[in-house]
Amino acid sequence: MAITEPIRNKQHIRALTGYYLQRGQLRNHALIVLGIHTALRIGDLLRLRWEDVYDFGQHSVRPALRLTERKTGKTKVVALNQAAAKALALLAAERSPPPEAFLMENRLTARAISRVQAYRIIRAAAEILRLGRVSCHSLRKTFGYHAWKYGVSLAVIMAIFNHSSLAVTRRYLGITQDDQNRAYRKLALLA
């Protein structure tokens, strides 16, 4: 099994998130944007319904969503940032979905798309954009890597991912020797 990596380059992230938006495929766009900005496992992301993310009384995207993670059984609250809210608002405007509809709905079956289909969507864009080994899990790892680069503590990232140890989180983020070398060089206590 190939190891997936986070997308480290911000231009690559913009290209990937914009790929389906430019083609008017708003569900696929929302899948990628939410995958990167919520750090949810693909299985949890695919189980989301519109009522989880959209306030039908206010006709607006909720500020956060609440779910029970399938893998851990833990309840999680995920704040939706501006990029996630915008992707959801675009999709809601296009689809006018009922509250019980799946967010990532297969229009032919009215069920959520499969994990395999989600992988194909992400892989197809990544291959065309020549981004290397990008998969569903890369989106989650991308969130963690960039949160760490922005200075979010590993302990907070570990809590977001519900990891059992800091070692798992460090390995998960794909922290390279170059990242470690920059940390050594950056610290100047006598300057």
Q: How do residues 132-188 score in pLDDT, each as one tens digit?
A: 989 999 999 999 999 999 999 999 999 999 988 888 888 888 777 787 788 788 876
> Residue 153 CB: number of other CB atoms within 10 A?
10
H or E element that contains 105: strand 105-106
Q: How far apart are CA 59 and CA 177, in angstroms?
A: 47
Q: What is the three-state SS of 41-78? A: CHHHHHHCEHHHHEECCCCEECCEEEEECCCCCCEEEE
Q: How far apart are the first and last CA of the chain?
A: 46
Structural domains in the chain plus CATH codes: 10-141 (1.10.443.10)
Q: What is the dihedral of CA 20, 25, 28, 31, to 10 degrees?
A: 90
Q: How do residues 55-73 score in pLDDT, each as one tens digit?
A: 999 999 999 999 999 998 9
Structure tokens belonging to residue 94: 């296009």
- Is the pTM of the predicted complex or chain greater than 0.95? no
Give residues with Cβ within 8 angstroms of 135, minimum separation 6.
Answer: 4, 119, 122, 123
